[in-house]
Amino acid sequence: MLINRRFRVNASRNEVLDHRTGKIVRLEPRLMKLLCLLIENHGQIVNRSLIIEQIWNDYPGADEGLNQAISGLRKLLEDDQKKIIETLPKTGYCFRGGIEKTPFKHQRKTLKTAHVLAGVLILIAILFLVRYYQATEATITDQLHRKEARHLYKIDSARQAERLKADKK
95 and 51, same domain (yes or no): yes
31 and 83, same domain (yes or no): yes
74 and 116, same domain (yes or no): no
Give yes or no for a contact between 43 and 96, defined as CB atoms under 8 angstroms apart: yes
Q: Is 74 helix (H, G, I), strand (E, B) or coil?
A: helix
pTM as predicted: 0.59
CB atoms near residue 35 (< 10 Å): 26
Q: In CATH, what number is assigned to the domain containing residue 23? A: 1.10.10.10
95 and 47, same domain (yes or no): yes
Q: Which among 100, 130, 149 is the end of a domain?
A: 100
Question: Which structural domain, as residue segments, surrounds residue 149?
Answer: 108-169
Domain count, the chain: 2
Which pLDDT does position 106 carry in this prediction?
Answer: 45
20 and 81, same domain (yes or no): yes
CA angle 88, 5, 95 (to 5 degrees): 15
d(Cα 58, Cα 56) in Å, to the nearest integer?
Answer: 5
96 and 147, same domain (yes or no): no
Question: Across the beta sheet with 99-100, what order do the strands follow?
Answer: 24-26, 15-18, 7-10, 2-3, 99-100
Task: Report pLDDT digits (tens) over 113-165.
Answer: 788 888 888 999 898 888 887 777 777 777 767 777 677 677 777 777 777 77
